[in-house]
Amino acid sequence: MKVSVVIPAYNEENRIEESAKILDGYLKDLYDDYEIIFCSDGSTDSTFEKAKALEKGNRNIKAVGYELNRGKGCAVRTGVLASDGDIVIFTDCDLAYGTDVIKKAVDKFEETGAQLVIGSRNLDSESYKGYSFARKLMSRVYFKLISLMTGFKQTDSQCGFKCFTKDAAHTIFSECKIDSFAFDLEALLKAQDKGYKIEEIAVRIINNDNRNTKVKMVSDSVRMLKDIRQIKRNQKS
């Protein structure tokens, strides 16, 4: 079994090398075959150059990307479609949920026969520790809106840790179009419509740096609502 870990990266020059070191060390101890795919989302710093250097020095690392910034959804989609693992995982460059969650997810596939295993912060009472009250409130309101507007059945669409079987990953992301933060919801709704079995695992934020967050609460919330309307239109077409 080969495990692919996709890391979307926008201006992550300060941590991409350390994240690669941590991930490579963790995966090497558990799996005979694995790959780490960094996708630069039009970074304006040295993120892509550092990713290419990591690729040259390690056969298990792959660097992909594009010139203009398009959004996390595009970066994840590009990385996923470049993967060839039997299990395809995406998580953020800060490894917010740690690394042990990878084995937890892979084991969940083997236990349940699911096509998707997704992290849920709402299944762990300590998961939002360190988040500001405003971000906690935004998350709760957003989840409620998603449920009401789309019929989404799981507890957390926006957790940055999600896993797919190879076939599910390539089928879903080859059809996805949303580039912004609502891409998670689009992918999950497609999986739901296709009848894929989706399992959740409890996750918590381990590495959290609110100072460097790329989430803009007001503008991103408005964009997400627009994207939800677009997703619903796409579902009907």
Whole-number Cα distances in Å, 129 to 17, 142, 159, 204, 214: 26, 18, 14, 8, 18
What pLDDT, on a 0 to 100 scale, did the predictor assign at position 178?
A: 92
Instruction: Give the type of residue at 201.
Output: I
Whole-number Cα distances in Å, 100 to 25, 95, 142, 207, 222: 12, 10, 28, 13, 34
What pLDDT, on a 0 to 100 scale, did the predictor assign at position 120?
A: 93
Residue 182 near residue 228, CB atoms below 8 Å: yes
pLDDT 10s digit of each residue in the chain, 237 long?
A: 999 999 999 999 999 999 999 999 999 999 999 999 999 999 999 999 999 999 999 999 999 999 999 999 999 999 999 999 999 999 999 999 999 999 999 999 999 999 999 999 888 767 666 667 777 777 777 777 777 777 788 888 889 999 999 999 999 999 999 998 789 999 999 999 999 999 999 999 888 665 455 555 566 666 767 777 777 676 666
- Domains by residue range for the chain, with CATH: 2-236 (3.90.550.10)
What pLDDT, on a 0 to 100 scale, did the predictor assign at position 212?
A: 52
Those residues whose C-beta lies under 8 Å from the C-beta of residue 213, and which sit 6 or more positions away, are none
What pLDDT, on a 0 to 100 scale, did the predictor assign at position 211?
A: 45
What pLDDT, on a 0 to 100 scale, did the predictor assign at position 218?
A: 60
